[in-house]
Amino acid sequence: MRKYFVVSAIVFTGMICGFGFIPLHENQQSGKAASVARGKELYKQYCLTCHQADAGGVPRMTPPLIKTKQILGDKKQLISIVLDGLTGEIEVEDEIYNGTMPPLKSVLKDQQVADVLTYIRNSFTNKASVVTASEVKAVRAKLK
């Protein structure tokens, strides 16, 4: 009985402290991986036609989504663009694009916006933090 208690205490301590059997970062990573997977499907459905399979965009019409300050920078601005859309000229990496991105606020839920942006910000050689549904919700509330 004493041996069982000692082993249980060691296992429990290792789990709580994040070293040993269940690293704490695994749950965070699986959440990100799930968001990226869902976002990939949303990208195919809503973004691919204009931004292309490789996220390279269309010259002078649709900007690329690869390592630009718009994608890797301010998440609130990026969320706003997805929710409210964008019409007219935009400068991306010293190139001018003039097209229309339709607003998706009535099409996509907060989690879906978070997922597609997390996918874009972590695909096509991009590496950036995740976008959360609560961040989308906060931006959406300010747009009304």
Own/partner pairs, 43-46, CB within 8 angstroms, 24+ separation = 43/116, 43/119, 43/120, 46/104, 46/107, 46/108, 46/116
pLDDT at site 3: 52
**Under 8 Å between Cβ of 18 and 24:** yes
Tell whether domain 29-143 is in CATH 1.10.760.10: yes
Return the ∠ at Cα 25 (arms to 19 and 31), rounded to 5°.
150
Domain boundaries, the chain: 29-143
Dihedral (CA of 114, 73, 43, 35) sign: negative
pLDDT of residue 29: 55
What is the per-residue pLDDT for 144? 77
pLDDT tens per residue across span 89-103: 999 999 999 999 999
Q: Specify the DSSP element, H or E, that contains 79.
A: helix 75-84
Q: What is the pLDDT at residue 7?
A: 42
Report residues of the chain scoring pLDDT below 50.
4-27
